[in-house]
Amino acid sequence: MLAVQVVDYGKPWEVVRTMEATEPPSPPAGQLKVKLLAAPIHPADLLLMRGLYGKRPSLPVGMGGEGVASVVDVGEGTDFKRGDRVIIPYGHDTWADHLTISAKRAVKVPAGIDDAQASMAMINPFTARLMLTDFVELAPGEFVIQNAANSGVGRAVIAIAKARGLRTVNVVRRPELIDELKAAGGDVVLVDGQDLPKRVAEATGNAPIRLGFEGVAGEAMRSLTGTVAEGGTLVVYAGMSAQPAVAFPPHLIFRDLTIRGFWLIKWFRSADPRLVAEIQHEMLPLIADGSIKVPVEHIYPLSSAREAISHAARAKGKILFTAS
């Protein structure tokens, strides 16, 4: 079988390889052997390949943080059957033709969710859900604000916030995204700029915004800190511009803002499996009805790893792998 590995740190399309690997044998009791249907390439994957991520594993190393697969063999004592589609549990290198996974931790994909969207059911929706619930206790009707609103996390924030009775202010860098994100449920969609705080205040009727999500860094972060209310919290989960974080000191000093970081991998390290399952089952209906939906630009076989990674580095939509 084929599996994608990183053999060095550097430019992602230069350090990735598709390798021949040993196919897993028939699974033991409580395990499933699965064949990959789809697995996304995330910005975090590209950062890891550059050696700029929060972990730096020994090389060579397998890649891929989530995906969806079809059951091809079952161990004793499981409730799954061949042909079932399952979300691959966290902790597996998903860019491989076949894997062995725990049946207890696998989640069956409901009918009506296609492979592409099912493959992205964990990382971005979990990040959005946990940022919405674990930092500030919000009341229905309150606004949250975010930049990178057209990202996978951003789109999930819009859907989950709406389901919880919250409203969203969504900041983007391209005006052509305004109508798209409004159609996706965004209450306010604005293009970033120096006068962002003034435009946010006008659009929300000066509503106090106590929670914001920062995914861009650089001057975009400076703009966002100017929109968060006194005593509010800004959660930093990404830095898509690859620029240093920027904050205007008066925003922090005179408004007593709190800046926090969030990394899903750290959360998973101590997460109760029952809570993981609970959140997963909360997210799936939103994916099934199209509330959470990420545009897919192209799907590549694992055999085309370099081409896929090169495309992902410049893509506007999501790039996925599928089994070769």
Ramachandran quadrant class, 291 (left: phi over 0; alpha: psi -120 to 50; beta: rest): alpha
Cα 194 vs. chain centroid, distance in angstroms? 28
- Is residue 96 a contact partner of residue 88, using CB atoms and an 8 Å limit? no
Q: Which of 259, 280, 281 is nearest to 268 (CA)?
A: 280
d(CA 80, CA 203): 50
DSSP 3-state percent helix, strand, coil across the chain (nearest 5): 30, 25, 45
- Which entry of 9, 53, 90, 237 is annotated as an active-site residue? 53
Query: Which residues, 6 or more positions from 266, have their beta carbon under 8 angstroms from its beta carbon?
Result: 54
- Is residue 113 a contact partner of residue 288, using CB atoms and an 8 Å limit? yes
Active site residue 300: no
**C-alpha angle 272-275-281 in degrees, rounded to nearest 5:** 145
Residue pointed to by tokens 């604000």: 145
Q: Which residues are catalytic?
A: 53
